[in-house]
């Protein structure tokens, strides 16, 4: 089995009204992310996946930076939906890296970020996205979330990871869990073989896609930093 902890980014300037490109955290957001740091330091995580949006990297560094986890990965497929909005379009590494220098220590290296978003790719192409139609961006966004589902199911298949965190966005979390996660809230997905669960017509397209790959998940949470123990983690 696999436990996936979906951590929504803390409050950013876009959450208080600014549709600006790749927004940073507000003062409140910094406090929200910091509130997790002592608690997560004892979590045993096999991997931490982070959307390459600045608000997610900043949240991950503050909330999970003290975790004893050796594998931090940038995951463009974990980015927000609604790519037509400036706040949901990112930047290539050359423009992003200067904004990360003052963050607390964390596990994302410069090389890791450059490998993931140093050049345009399938789910990360800022220049192209700025010119694309709303319909095209919608299709690309849907494909990215499906790619994230495929990645999580592949990890469940391999069985090497037992607990991973994905630092991502409201739309991503809602698509996978139907949960209304607050800023800096955590939602858990507990993966189990789909053969153990009868198909349900109410499943989302993402749950059906996972079932086709042999997996189903149950949702736990949302949890806040001051919430009771998170099952299978604490």
Judged against a pLDDT cut of 90, whether residue 197 lies above it is answered with no
Provide, rounded to the nearest whole percent, the portion of the chain with pLDDT above 70.
100
Q: 191: Cβ–Cβ under 8 A, 6 or more apart, which residues?
A: 1, 2, 3, 4, 152, 153, 156, 215, 216, 217
Judged against a pLDDT cut of 90, whether residue 94 lies above it is answered with yes
Task: Judge if pTM exceeds 0.85.
Answer: yes
Decide if 91 is inside a domain.
yes
Taking residues 56-79, report their average pLDDT.
96
User: Residue 193's domain spans which residues?
Assistant: 2-223
pLDDT by residue (tens digit) across 105-148? 999 999 999 999 999 999 999 999 999 999 999 999 999 999 99
pLDDT at 202: 81
Decide if 232 is inside a domain.
no
Q: 137: Cβ–Cβ under 8 A, 6 or more apart, which residues?
A: 83, 84, 129
Judged against a pLDDT cut of 80, whether residue 196 lies above it is answered with no
Decide if 75 is inside a domain.
yes
Judged against a pLDDT cut of 90, whether residue 17 lies above it is answered with no
Decide if 230 is inside a domain.
no
Decide if 234 is inside a domain.
no
Decide if 228 is inside a domain.
no
- Number of domains composing the chain: 1
CA distance 214 to 199: 11
Q: Are 186 and 7 in contact (CB under 8 A)?
A: yes
Average pLDDT of the chain is: 94
pLDDT at 1: 83
Decide if 144 is inside a domain.
yes
Decide if 28 is inside a domain.
yes
CATH code where residue 203 lies: 3.40.50.1240
Judged against a pLDDT cut of 80, whether residue 198 lies above it is answered with no
CB atoms within 10 A of CB 119: 12
């Amino acid at each position: 089995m696999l436990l996936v902890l979906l951590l929504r980014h803390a409050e950013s300037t876009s959450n208080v009204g600014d549709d600006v490109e790749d927004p940073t955290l507000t003062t409140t957001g910094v406090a929200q992310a910091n509130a997790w740091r002592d608690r997560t330091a004892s979590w045993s995580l096999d991997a931490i996946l982070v959307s390459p949006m600045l608000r997610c990297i900043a949240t991950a560094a503050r909330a999970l930076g003290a975790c004893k986890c050796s594998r931090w990965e940038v995951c463009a497929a974990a980015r927000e939906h609604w790519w037509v909005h400036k706040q949901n379009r990112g930047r290539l590494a050359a423009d992003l890296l200067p904004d990360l220098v003052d963050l607390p220590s964390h596990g994302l290296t410069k090389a890791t970020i450059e490998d993931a978003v140093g050049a345009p790719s399938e789910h990360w192409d800022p220049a192209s996205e700025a010119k694309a139609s709303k319909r095209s961006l919608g299709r690309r966004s849907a494909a990215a979330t499906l790619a994230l589902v495929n990645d999580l199911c592949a990890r469940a298949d391999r069985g090497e990871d037992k607990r991973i965190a994905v630092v991502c966005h409201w739309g991503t979390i809602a698509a996978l869990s139907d949960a209304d996660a607050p800023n800096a809230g955590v939602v858990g997905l507990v993966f189990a073989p789909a053969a153990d669960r009868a198909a349900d017509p109410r499943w989302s397209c993402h749950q059906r896609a996972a079932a086709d790959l042999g997996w189903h998940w149950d949702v736990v949470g949302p949890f806040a930093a001051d919430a009771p123990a998170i099952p299978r983690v604490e």
